[in-house]
A and B are shown apart, each in its own frame.
Chain A
Amino acid sequence: MRWGVVVFPGSNCDYDAFDTLGRIFEQEVRYIWHKDRDLKNIDGIILPGGFSYGDYLRSGAIARFSPVIEEVIRFANKGGIVIGICNGFQVLTEAGLLPGTLRENVNLRFICEDLYLRVENNSTRFTHLCDEGQVLKIPVAHNEGNYFAPPNVLKELEDHNRVVFRYSDRQGKVDEISNPNGSLNNIAGICNKAGNVLGMMPHPERRCDPVIGGIDGQVIFKSVITAAMEMAK
C-alpha cells in the first residue's frame, strides 16, 4: 500500500507512524503537510498523535480546518483507509468523520502507560487478523481520551458493532476498574459506518518493534495491509 502520514504543526507521533509503516511493514510511505491538498496516489492515511496546533481551543478543533482535512474527508468518503491515532482520533471526531468527542480524562491526569484492549469486532479491515476477543497490550499517552457520545449515537455504535476496541484488563474483562479515563462503555476505538475510518486513542504504532517492548500493534497494520491486498486481487 501507499501511505500518507499527515503532519500538523505540533504532531509528534508522525515519525513513529512513518517508521512503523516504512521500516517494519516495508510500505511506501510519505509525509503530507497539513497545507497540502494533493494526496497523490495514496491508499491509506494516518492522522498521527501529538498536539496539533498546540491543542489550543480543543484537541483537534483547529486541525480540523486544515486544507489537508478537506482532502482527507473526500478521500474517506470515497472509501479510502483513514486511521486516526490519539490526536488523530480527536481530529476525526472534530471533522465529523467519526461521531462523539474525546473529553478530558475523568481523573484529570495525563495517562501514559501500557493498557490492555479487547478486540470487540474482529471483522473490520483493521482487525480481521485478530482472534475474537483478543487482548492487545498497547500504550496510551493522552489527556483527552474520555470518549463521550450522546445516548442515541452510543446505541448506534453498539448496535452496529462499530466499537472496535474497549479498555479491559489482561484477561479481557471490561469493567470500571479497567477504564483508564472515563470513556463511555470503555470505548478505546471506533470505526465509521462504512468501515474504512478507524479512530483509536491507544498507539499501535508504538508496539510494532520488539526492541521497544512488544509487537501487539502489528496485527492492526497487518490486517489493513492484507485486506488491501485481497481487494486489489
Chain B
Amino acid sequence: MRYAMAIDTKKCVGCSDCVVACQLENKVPIGYCRDWIVETTSGTYPDLTLEFRSERCHHCANAPCVRCCPTGASHIEEGGVVLVTAEKCIGCGACIASCPYDARYPHPDGYVDKCTFCIHKVRKGEQPACVEVCPTHCLYFGDLDDPNSDVSRKIKERKYKRLKTEAGTDPQLYFLI
C-alpha cells in the first residue's frame, strides 16, 4: 500500500477551503496550518498564466525528517504516511529544518505537527478532510498500489509534476498540469 495525493492545478481556484477544513478537523490552532495554497503568476499582462497549488506534507518515500529525528517521533506508518508521535517529540526542530517543503510547524503544545493525510479518517474508510471538502473536486487521494484508485487513474491519465525531486525525497504529491 502506498498512499498518495494528486492535485489538479487546472481546477484548483485557490479558495483555501482545504486549509480551513483541515484546521477544524485536526484542531490545528488558529495561526498555524498543515496545508496551504501557493499561487504563482508568470508572464506579463495580458500574456499570463496562473497556477494554484494546494500543498501539504509530501509524505516522501525517502523522508529527511524521519532520518534526522533523534527520538523516533517522526516515523513512517502504513501506506507510507509520515507521522509524528507527539509524546515522543521533544520539539528540537531538526525535522522542520530538514524538510525541503516547509511542511512542518512547531505546535504551541511543544511538539512538531504536520499533515497526517487524515489517517484517522482514512482508517475508517473516509477521505482526508481537505479532499472531502474541496468544492472544485481537485484533490484525489488513494493507494497507488491499487490501479483503480482515483489517484492512480489521474496520474495515469494526466501529465503531472512533483516538487523538488532533486532533493531525492521521492515526494508523493502529484500536481496535475
Q: Does B bind A?
A: no
* Chain B residues in the interface with A (C-beta under 8 A): none
